[in-house]
Amino acid sequence: MATNLNTAAGAGSSAAPELCWLEEVRKDDVALVGGKCSSLGELINAGVRVPPGFALTTHGFARFMRDAGVSGEIPFMLNGLVHDDLEQLELVSRDIRSMIEEHPFSWEMEDAIAEYYRRLSVRCMVPAVPVAVRSSATAEDLPGASFAGQQDTYLWIRGVDDVLHHARRCISSLFTARAISYRIRMGFPHEEVALSVGFQKMANAYTAGVMFTCNPGNGDRSVIAIDANFGFGESVVSGEVTPDHFVVNKITLDILERTISCKEITYTVDFETQKSVRTETPFERQNVQSVIDEEIIELARMGKAIEKHYGRQMDIEWAVDKDLPAGGNIFILQARPETVWSEKRDKEAAVAGKATSAMDFILSSLMTGKKVS
C-alpha cells in the first residue's frame, strides 16, 4: 500500500503518496513516479518479469527538497547560467549537489524508506537485499524526449544507510552540469522537472544488455536487435565495451545475425565489499558468446510482447540472473519508447498522410493484434 507520511504521522489525510510499490503504478503515473518507475509498474501489471521494488514519489522528493531548505535557493543559483559555460555549470552543479547530499532525510521519511526496504528484503527472502537505486525523472523515458540517462543509477546497494545515502545522490543528480545544460539548451524550465527514486532488487546478472524492437542502425521494424555482455549491463549501456550483437527475425524468431565481440570489461559484484566493480574479463571468456541462443529467442519473445503492449518500438534493458533456474531467470530492468526512428517515421507518415509502406501497415497490425487481410 502506498504511504503518505503526513497520514502515517497522524497529521491528517492527503491524496499524495510519498512512497509506493512499483506494482501500484502504471504508465500514466509519470507525474507521480517519473518515466522509469511508471514504466516498470506498467510492465509488472502487464505480466512481464520485472524485479520487485518501490519508489520515493515526486511528492516525497518535493518534501525532502523543502525539508532541506534548497527549493528556494536553487532557482537563484541557476539563474543566468548559459548552456555552454561548462566551468560555471560545474561549479553551480557541485554546490547544489553538496547541499542536497549533505542534508539527511527527516526521521519520518527515513523510517518509512527503511520499512519499505525491510519489506522488500522479506519479499525477496534476502537479508538486506541488494538493490539498484535509480533516478526516475518526470521528463525522461517519454516519446520524443531525450532526457533519459541524464540522472544517476547506483548498483548493488545494501543496507538502510547506503540506500538512504544513494537516494540523496540520485536526487542531487537532477542537477548535474549535463542535466542543467540540457534543460537550458532545450528551454525546459528547471522547476518543471521533478524526480522519483526507484529501489529495485538487483538481478545478480550472469549476462545483461539492451534490446531494441527495431534495428537501431536503420530502423528496420521486422527485426529485434540485442546487445549483450557478461555481468551487469552497465558496460553495454555506457559504451565501455563492444558487446555481442544479435539480430532476430521478429516474426519467426530466427537468429539472422550474430557478432561475437572481444569483451574486455565486465561489471560484477565484489562480495567482500558488496559493491559493483569494474573488472577485466578473463582472457578465455572475452570472445565467448555471452548469451545462449535459447535466451536470445526468449528475449525476443519478451521484446515482442512489450512492443505489442505499448504499441510502439521500445528500447529495453534486461538481465539474466545467475541465481535462478533457466526458464524464469530473464528479467526486464527498464523499457522506454525508442525515439530516433519512431520520430522519423511519424514525421514521414504525417507528411504522407498515411503509412509509409505496406510493411509498416503489416507490422503495425501485428503489433496491435489486428487481423491482416
User: Is the model's pLDDT at 10 over the cut of 80?
Assistant: no
The Cβ-side half-sphere exposure at 217, using a 13 Å CA radius, reads: 8
Residues 153 and 299 in one domain: no
Res 340: pLDDT: 79
Residue 3 makes CB contacts below 8 A (sequence gap 6+) with 17, 18, 19, 20, 112, 116
User: Is the model's pLDDT at 334 over the cut of 80?
Assistant: yes
Among 201, 220, 244, the domain boundary falls at 201
Confidence of residue 156 (pLDDT cuts 50, 70, 90): very high
Residues 37 and 12 in one domain: yes
User: Is the model's pLDDT at 147 over the cut of 70?
Assistant: no
Res 76: pLDDT: 92
Residues 217 and 352 in one domain: yes
Among 201, 221, 246, the domain boundary falls at 201
What pTM, to 2 d.p., does this model score?
A: 0.84
- Residues 315/337, Cβ–Cβ less than 8 Å: yes
Q: Domain of 219?
A: 205-358
Residues 278 and 188 in one domain: no
Residue 277 lies in a domain: yes
Confidence of residue 2 (pLDDT cuts 50, 70, 90): confident
Least confident residue range of 42-51, 123-132, 136-145: 136-145
Among 172, 201, 230, the domain boundary falls at 201
Residues 305-316, mean pLDDT to the nearest whole number: 96
Residues 149 and 116 in one domain: yes
User: What is the sign, positive or negative, of the torsion defined by CA atoms of 264, 270, 273, 274?
Assistant: positive
Least confident residue range of 138-142, 186-190, 273-277, 285-289: 138-142
Number of domains in the chain: 2
User: Is the model's pLDDT at 354 over the cut of 60?
Assistant: no
Residues 145 and 219 in one domain: no
Residue 369 lies in a domain: no
Percent of the chain with pLDDT over 70: 86
Res 176: pLDDT: 93
Res 4: pLDDT: 76
Residues 135-139, mean pLDDT to the nearest whole number: 88
Instruction: For residue 287, give the CATH number of its domain.
Output: 3.30.470.20
Residues 9 and 152 in one domain: yes
Residues 314-342, mean pLDDT to the nearest whole number: 91
How do residues 192-232 score in pLDDT, each as one tens digit?
889 999 999 999 999 999 999 999 999 999 999 999 999 99
Res 373: pLDDT: 52
Res 190: pLDDT: 87
Average of per-residue pLDDT values in the chain: 88
Least confident residue range of 4-8, 30-34, 236-240, 332-336: 4-8
Residue 301 lies in a domain: yes
Residues 190 and 275 in one domain: no
Residues 186 and 248 in one domain: no
Instruction: For residue 16, give the CATH number of its domain.
Output: 3.30.1490.20
Residues 213 and 289 in one domain: yes
User: Is the model's pLDDT at 138 over the cut of 60?
Assistant: yes
Res 188: pLDDT: 84
Confidence of residue 81 (pLDDT cuts 50, 70, 90): very high
Alpha carbons 226 and 204: distance in angstroms, whole number: 19
Residues 46 and 179 in one domain: yes
Residues 12 and 128 in one domain: yes
